[in-house]
Amino acid sequence: MDDDNAVRSAIEGAFEGKLAIADVVSQLPAWKTSFERMVNDILMYGWIWVGSTLITHQGEPALDSVKGKMALQILGDLAVEEEIRKELVEFFWNNAHNIEWVKALSPHLPGALLSDLVLRKHDGGVYGKIQTVSDLLVQWAPEPVRDSIARGAADTGRLVELYQKTDWGECRPYGQGSARDTMMACDLGL
């Protein structure tokens, strides 16, 4: 079996619950396959690839389909481990510039992944003034998504950084101790 078929077979195994996604990730170097390629394959298999209409070939909403839900679950499983979550952040940072796609997917993604996306440093780089995924999330995130992002930032110790960037009231309930004090100082302009 060639590497492409091995990756596809492993992803199918993950979708069917026969193989843990961590096992698939650990095999990527042996298959000479990138993490980005694997994530693309997961999204394709679930009918939720970047920029897609999020409609399956049968005309149903992909996020409500069994495969779409499983793809989201697999992404959630990947986001649990910090090092792998960093790779997911880079994947979304570099690939998710379709605002409608980001809007549709974000309520289904883990808060820690979304908060890492919002707080990812942007150096201007090649794209210059083009809006980043971070900018898109900050601008339009509805309250439930903002709450998820705030909870994710609190869980990863980055709540104050999120509050300073966004000034979202959803951050306040998660502030504890010095984080709460720092947010209050920000509110007072100190």
Domain ranges of the chain: 3-187
Q: 124 pLDDT band (50/70/90 cuts)?
A: low
Output the average pLDDT for the chain.
87
pLDDT exceeds 90 at position 84: yes
* pLDDT of the residue at 97: 73
Q: Which one, of 103, 127, 122, 123, lies nearest residue 114 by Cα?
A: 103
Instruction: Report the half-sphere exposure of 23 (CA within 13 A, side-chain side).
Output: 12
* Residue 39 near residue 74, CB atoms below 8 Å: no
**Range of weakest confidence among 16-20, 116-120, 130-134:** 130-134
Residues in the chain: 190
Q: Span 56-84, mean pLDDT?
A: 91
pLDDT confidence band for 126 (50 / 70 / 90): very low
